[in-house]
Structure 1
Amino acid sequence: MTKTLSCKSGLALAMFSLLLFWPGAHASEGDAPSGLQTIVDEAIHPIMQNHDVPGMAVAITVGGTRHVFTYGVASRASGQAVTENTLFEIGSISKTFTATLAAYAEETGALSLSDPASAYLPGLAGSSFDSISLLDLGTYAAGGLPLQVPGHVTEENWSDYYRNWQPEYAPGTHRRYSNASIGLFGHLAARSIGQPFDELMEGTIFPMLGLSNTFIHVPQNRMRDYAYGYSKDGRPIRVNPGIWDAEAYGVKTSAADLIRFVEINMNPTGLDAALQRAVTATHTGYYTVDGMVQGLGWEMYAYPTERDRLLAGNSRQMAFEAHEVERFAPPMPPRENVFINKTGSTNGFGAYAAFIPSRDIGIVILANRNYPIPERVSAAYRILSALADQTDTPSAE
């Protein structure tokens, strides 16, 4: 029998600042493991207080049982409380969905990741993309594409930008984290199937994954559930459209749906056979940089791992600088005993997802403010380590 616990407070705005940090949690599908409420509260309350985060949702899966804890408000103007179905922007965690689409396209024969990118866009023929593979694009190893698509690039001239772009490094030799890279990757993957990216995600991939609360474009009848993000100066904001926004950072989803996606990544049985293989394929390791193994969308570490290694792998240096890679030949097959994670940010939101397949535990942390990534990683590590202890397995320490 499903048991639901709720201790959210319906607070007037005048009382909100005083009572924000009272525990507000919802644990679903069974009682939480001993002390889990306290563990999560102790990890989340300081983040909210120190960074003035209006609202957060934390979803945890333990052995296939989900627990969702919610805090604060989705909108300061309305005072609407965060729930397990509140929609948050997840920023670059969107890249793991883009990776899933591309892997599905390969599994269904629409593309091969080893093909040159120019094979899927005739306008790139004769350019550097004759020697840059789809896999290079999907793993940020095209040769130095920038983090963001330059401001002068538009919907009308983006193909000119790529056709004239010259790599700084030989393809496959350096990692430079890049929306410009994975954005084009997602576009070409969708093109190989013959549909626009957002239509494929919302009409095919999300439904096949069983995600009914996940969107590229939030429909009008769900806007009430779409949280407002908050800028550094406290203004309510939401993500702006841009080149490759859908492919690189455009997914909006709930804690309940995102933890389901984490569970699917740990155990994809029950999906369409091609999609099941595709989800697993995103955990293939292609190269390593200082202990971080780059998958397709996801980033991985041998388990058990240290918190400092996770912090290094999710550091500003990894996001903003180019790094020479050590490639696996052949690629490293998906493994169970790994710590898999991905961060995501927009101007008003901060998100993190992590899971350990061999322990069957995972976590997502969603917030409507972009607070520091090291605090997300540290909070999740603390909670997952406690769960590993409680499930009578080696700790992540």
Structure 2
Amino acid sequence: MLGLLGGCIVTRHAQAAASAADSADIGAAVDGAFRPLLRAHVIPGMAVAVTDNGKRHFFGYGVASRDTGAPVTQDTLFEIGSLSKTFTATLAGYAQATGRLSLADTPGRYLPILRGSAIDRASLLQLGTYTAGGLPLQFPDDVTTLADAWAYYRKFSPDAPPGQQRRYSNPSIGLLGHVTARAMQRDFAELCEAELFPRLGLKRSFIHVPHAALPGYAWGYDQADRAVRVNPGVFDAEAYGVKSTAADMLRFVEANLRPRLLEPGLRRAVEQTHVGHYQVGEMVQGLGWEQYPWPTALARLMAGNASTMALEPHPARRLEPGQVPQDSRLFNKTGSTNGFGAYAAFVPARSIGIIMLANRNVPVPARVTAAHAVLRALEEKR
């Protein structure tokens, strides 16, 4: 069979050689960007996955467990931390696309216990974009049950009107996830594992890891180098509870790169997560995903992912539909638990994306710098 390469007619053998050279270039870019992190941050194991115009590339480094010495593969389960929020956002978008809820609703419509409270002045969209009025990063330590959470929300006193301030918050998007599950009349984890993940083609993604999958579940390592896994908490599933693999997460990235290939309801859900709603400093906050123009200077990407963006409130400016350019944008999200670190970034207009999963909470600047270098290398080789 004949094909075109660089304006010349070539054989299938030459095409295969070009593909091998292309893979080698991507491998060199990934190795150059990510391998130094292993030593610099004492990372036991890491999986990196790249998609480039529909071609998938997987890279495994180190071990999933120091005790067993099992190597990291594309099927090793990692905790993805707050990257889970993008699934919560997608499920909320799916509930809206299928008529189960409206993101313009307030939580009290589905949770009578919150009616008349200050939090009930915020919309579900504002909960999902952390602009509900100042909910903190975490629940207070004494909130350990759902009853405690309802008491906390009812007493909550906002420090800004809804829509004026962005303060990154697990209780904020966690409440969105809970309301979504209530509107769909099923348990949140069950909705993800039985509905959302299969519809996205994810075969080894879980909130509650089944016994049969435990041998492939990596151990995380905390700052004291102890083997750890995530602790349960109120709305943990909705905010930081997904465990997944490099292969599954790359499929999720590809669904975001080409939502037109999804079933209609899921397509609308994914597209809803791509809408920019608030300008916050250097980045645009969407539902789950954060976005930037592409190409993006590393300094801008670092500013948008700085620790202050997670730990401090920032002014938020509401964006009207159409204000965010639709042509070339980078979407990204970080995620961490005590023993794991994750990062996802993709550019739909260029059909490129990257996933990094590690069983160490790698500093966010290191993740972002390495991923940005690989994405720029993918851009430059075209």
Q: Is the TM value for this pair above 0.5?
A: yes
- What SS does the aligned partner of 1:181 have? helix
Paired residue for 1:26?
A: none
Q: C-alpha deviations, 1:86-135, integer Å up to 9, x for none?
A: 00000000000000000000001111111112111000011113311101
The structure 2 residue matched to 1:320, chosen from 311, 316, 321, is 311
Question: Which range moved further: 74-83 or 271-280?
Answer: 271-280
Checking the alignment, whether the CA contact within 8 Å between 1:286 and 1:332 is kept in structure 2 is: no
Checking the alignment, whether the CA contact within 8 Å between 1:214 and 1:254 is kept in structure 2 is: yes
Matched, 1:84 2:84: no
The structure 1 residue matched to 2:169, chosen from 175, 178, 182, is 178
Cα distance in structure 2, aligned partners of 1:282 and 1:381:
22
Cα distance in structure 1, aligned partners of 2:21 and 2:211:
35
Paired residue for 2:41?
A: 51
**More RCO (CA 8 Å, sep 6+):** 2
The structure 1 residue matched to 2:106, chosen from 111, 116, 139, is 116
Cα distance in structure 2, aligned partners of 1:341 and 1:207:
23
Residues 236-385 of structure 1: pairs in structure 2 closer than 5 A: 236-330=227-321, 332=323, 335-385=326-376
Cα distance in structure 2, aligned partners of 1:326 and 1:333:
12
Question: Which range moved further: 31-40 or 154-163?
Answer: 31-40
**Alpha carbon RMSD of aligned pairs, Å?**
1.3
Between the two proteins, what is the percent identity of the paired residues?
55
More helix by share: 2
Cα distance in structure 2, aligned partners of 1:111 and 1:182:
15
Checking the alignment, whether the CA contact within 8 Å between 1:121 and 1:188 is kept in structure 2 is: yes
Cα distance in structure 1, aligned partners of 2:279 and 2:58:
33
Cα distance in structure 2, aligned partners of 1:278 and 1:315:
28
The structure 1 residue matched to 2:122, chosen from 126, 132, 140, is 132
Checking the alignment, whether the CA contact within 8 Å between 1:117 and 1:188 is kept in structure 2 is: yes
Checking the alignment, whether the CA contact within 8 Å between 1:336 and 1:356 is kept in structure 2 is: no
1:60 Cα shift? Answer: 0.1
1:34 Cα shift? Answer: 4.3
Cα distance in structure 2, aligned partners of 1:192 and 1:218:
25
Paired residue for 1:75?
A: 65
TM-score w.r.t. the length of structure 2 is 0.93
- What SS does the aligned partner of 2:260 have? coil
Matched, 1:35 2:25: yes
Checking the alignment, whether the CA contact within 8 Å between 1:33 and 1:390 is kept in structure 2 is: no
Instruction: Structure 2: state its 5+ residue gaps.
Output: 1-18
Cα distance in structure 1, aligned partners of 2:228 and 2:241:
14
Paired residue for 2:131?
A: 141
Aligned amino acid, residue 290 of structure 2: E
Q: C-alpha deviations, 1:137-176, integer Å up to 9, x for none?
A: 0000010000001111122321111011111110110000
Matched, 1:209 2:192: no
- What SS does the aligned partner of 1:157 have? helix
Checking the alignment, whether the CA contact within 8 Å between 1:55 and 1:72 is kept in structure 2 is: yes
Aligned amino acid, residue 235 of structure 1: R
Aligned amino acid, residue 385 of structure 1: R
* Alpha-carbon spacing, 1:333–1:324, altered in 2? closer, same or farther (3 Å): closer
Checking the alignment, whether the CA contact within 8 Å between 2:23 and 2:57 is kept in structure 1 is: no
- How many residues were matched structurally? 363
Checking the alignment, whether the CA contact within 8 Å between 1:350 and 1:371 is kept in structure 2 is: yes
Checking the alignment, whether the CA contact within 8 Å between 2:340 and 2:359 is kept in structure 1 is: yes
Paired residue for 2:97?
A: 107
1:234 Cα shift? Answer: 0.7
- What SS does the aligned partner of 1:293 have? strand
- What SS does the aligned partner of 2:321 have? strand
- What SS does the aligned partner of 2:331 have? strand
Checking the alignment, whether the CA contact within 8 Å between 1:230 and 1:368 is kept in structure 2 is: yes
Q: C-alpha deviations, 1:48-77, integer Å up to 9, x for none?
A: 001110000000000011000000000000
* Runs of 4 or more above 6 Å deviation: none
1:265 Cα shift? Answer: 0.2
Residues 156-235 of structure 1: pairs in structure 2 closer than 5 A: 156-235=147-226
Checking the alignment, whether the CA contact within 8 Å between 1:32 and 1:67 is kept in structure 2 is: no
Aligned amino acid, residue 39 of structure 2: Q
Cα distance in structure 2, aligned partners of 1:189 and 1:304:
35
1:335 Cα shift? Answer: 2.4
1:279 Cα shift? Answer: 0.5
Cα distance in structure 2, aligned partners of 1:369 and 1:87:
13
Question: Which range moved further: 236-245 or 34-43?
Answer: 34-43
Checking the alignment, whether the CA contact within 8 Å between 1:284 and 1:332 is kept in structure 2 is: no
Q: C-alpha deviations, 1:355-380, integer Å up to 9, x for none?
A: 01111000001100001000000000
Aligned amino acid, residue 33 of structure 1: S
